[in-house]
Amino acid sequence: MAAQERNTRDRLLDAFEKLLVTAGSRAATLDAVAAEAQVSKGGLLYHFHSKDQLVDGMLTRLREQGRADVEKMRTAKKGPVDFYLTTSINTGSDFDRALIAAGRIAQENDSRASDALGDLREWWFAVLLDHLQDESLARTIQLIGDGLYFDDTTGLNEKNALKHVRDVLTRLGAL
């Protein structure tokens, strides 16, 4: 009975995210989420009364994780640009998973998810702009980050992508 660090609620959200990321939204059913979290369906519905509430719970947690990430980015040793690009590649962290999961939900026409993702993007951009004082460069770097992120989530992983980007950004004096 020991060795179970996270509480059930978080484990359910973890399971929901994992299914969304690895198998897509069609596979992320209540039954599947409950099974993945090793909880009965009744147990799931005790914590989240509907699938909608599951989504809400996930997005609320995402915003919290996002605030922490932005803070880390702002104070990163190697600077926010390097931090942003490095973490745009899916490292398999909890935050990465939550981000990808929210993307899946956003695609189902769910404005709650698009809003959350849009807010995160604004926070990141503000840090980039504050550091670079160059809107075009900040926007372009954000797009590169989006590209890295997109490639990762679509399984189009190009191993040396980050190296090439660093090369180009060095030419621009942005790194």
Partner DNA sequence: TTTACTGTACCGTCTGGACGGTTTACATTC
Partner DNA sequence: GAATGTAAACCGTCCAGACGGTACAGTAAA
Residue 33 or 148 with smaller CB distance to DNA? 33
Binding mask 50-89 for DNA (x = CB under 7 A): xxx-------------------------------------
40 belongs to the binding site for DNA (CB under 7 A): yes
Q: Which does 47 bind (CB under 5 to 8 A by kind): a copy of itself, DNA, none?
A: DNA
- Burial zone of 102 (CB within 10 Å; 0-12 exposed, 13-18 middle, 19+ buried): buried
Are 65 and 94 in contact, with CB atoms under 8 Å apart?
yes
| Residue 24 lies near DNA (rule: CB under 7 A) | no
Tokens 């090793």 — which residue?
38
Q: Give the CA angle between residues 151, 98, 167 to the nearest 5°.
A: 35
DSSP designation for 37? T
Q: What's the number of CA atoms in the CB half-sphere (13 Å) around residue 42?
A: 0
Residues contributing to the site for a copy of itself (CB under 8 A) = 22-27, 103-104, 106-109, 114, 117-118, 121, 135-137, 139-140, 142-151, 153-156, 158, 160-161, 163-165, 167-168, 171-172
CA distance 73 to 18: 25
With binding defined as CB under 7 A, does residue 22 bind DNA?
no
**Cβ nearer to DNA, comparing 54 with 174:** 54
Binding residues for DNA, total number by CB under 7 A: 23
Contact 143, 151 (CB under 8 A): no
Which residues contact DNA by CB under 7 A? 7-9, 26-32, 38-43, 45-47, 49-52
